[in-house]
Amino acid sequence: MTSSKLSHIEDYKTLGRALAELRHNAGLTQVQAGEKIGVRSNFVSEVERGNRGPRWHTLLIFLEVYGVGPRELVGALERAAHL
């Protein structure tokens, strides 16, 4: 695997940890989040585990459902990057 590929994998994992934190803070389960976002709960799980990245418009829906904006996402990303 190239270092670029590894970087993307780590980026997805960091994003996933950040989104899991925001979901948890919103008091939602993966099933509830999926229902509100309009995706299956296994998609939420895949994103949170870093196995896939959401498209930009889907990421914005995640944030809307979690009741946060880009600043909160950045904060969660910074915390997740240090785990």
53-58-75 Cα angle (round to 5): 70
What was the pLDDT predicted at 9? 85
Task: For 33-82, write each residue's pLDDT tens digit.
Answer: 999 999 999 999 999 999 999 999 999 999 999 999 999 999 999 999 99
pLDDT for 2 beyond 60: no
Domain covering 3-81: architecture: Orthogonal Bundle (1.10)
Question: How far, CA to CA in Å, does 61 sit from each of 3, 15, 69, 83?
Answer: 30, 14, 10, 25
Q: Are 42 and 63 in contact (CB under 8 A)?
A: no
What was the pLDDT predicted at 21? 98
Q: Is 75 left (phi over 0), alpha (psi -120 to 50) or beta?
A: alpha
End-to-end CA distance of the chain: 23
